[in-house]
Amino acid sequence: MKAKKQKNILLGVTAGVAIYKSCSLVRILRKRGFAVKVVMTPNATKLISSKLFESLTDEKVYAGMFEEISDYSLKHIALSKWADAFIVAPCSANTVAKLAHGICDNLLTSIALALPQNKPVVVAPAMNTNMWKNPVTRKNISQICEIKNYTIVNPQKGVLASFDKGEGVLAPLEDIVKQLKAALGK
Ligand SMILES: Cc1cc2nc3c(=O)[nH]c(=O)nc-3n(C[C@H](O)[C@H](O)[C@H](O)COP(=O)(O)O)c2cc1C
């Protein structure tokens, strides 16, 4: 019997306080048999070192479009070809806005736009309640929901980083994996 090809998951990480949960998400995905590579926004690298994701994935972590002077390869194209699916978790309000409008001013958002439309994108936003409830974010989220290959995993109510209670806490990692598998038809 032919062995099933391992699915390649590209995990996009943005600068949200729930970034530490992305580390556990990498572990869960790898334990479930997925190959995982991580792309971070430049702001995300200010919150957590890419080295941590490199050790968790055993892969190079991608963050910059231009800073590696010796390497002008088209990373956004190569990574969008490599990925069978793209997860963005946590997805900041800022990146939600960029995804909704096709802004591609960093590697993560460029990959999102370059990704073939038959590949699933699972977006798990996490942010302060007011940011989540802001009409601008609501509009951005509803625009993303209209894109055929995108799934939004809504944040939940809970205790936020500020210790306020409200909506905006990253969805449970198991829910994100469940949505990924459903999107991949597994
Ligand atoms: C410690 C810290 C935690 C933050 N947490 C969040 C968050 O949970 N959600 C969010 O949308 N923005 C959060 N921000 C603000 C974002 O980092 C900021 O909007 C940034 O521009 C997002 O950049 P990116 O989308 O390119 O990663 C946080 C900022 C800091 C300094």
Q: Is the CB of 85 under 6 A from ligand 1?
A: no
87-104 average pLDDT score: 98
Give the count of domains, the chain: 1
**Strands 156-159 and 165-169, bridge-based pairing:** antiparallel
Residue 98 lies in a domain: yes
In a domain, 175, yes or no: no
pLDDT of residue 161: 77
CATH number where 105 lies: 3.40.50.1950
Query: Which pLDDT band, with edges at 50, 70 and 90, does 71 fall under?
Result: low
* Residue 182 in domain: no
Nearest-atom index, ligand 1, CA of 95: 25
**Considering the domain boundaries, does residue 180 fall inside one?**
no
**Range of 146's domain?**
8-165
Whether the Cβ atoms of residue 11 and residue 22 lie closer than 8 Å to each other: yes
Q: Is 92 in the pocket of ligand 1 (CB under 6 A)?
A: yes
158: exposed, middle or buried (Cβ count in 10 Å: 0-12, 13-18, 19+): exposed
Across the chain, what does the average pLDDT equal? 93
Residue 104 lies in a domain: yes
Give the tens place of pLDDT for each residue, 96-133: 999 999 999 999 999 999 999 999 999 999 999 999 99
Q: Is residue 172 part of a domain?
A: no
Choose one of 45, 94, 137, 141 to mutate for the ligand 1 pocket test, by most ligand atoms within 8 angstroms of C-beta. Answer: 94
Q: What average pLDDT score do residues 55-69 get?
A: 84
At residue 58, φ and ψ (nearest 5 deg) are 60, 30
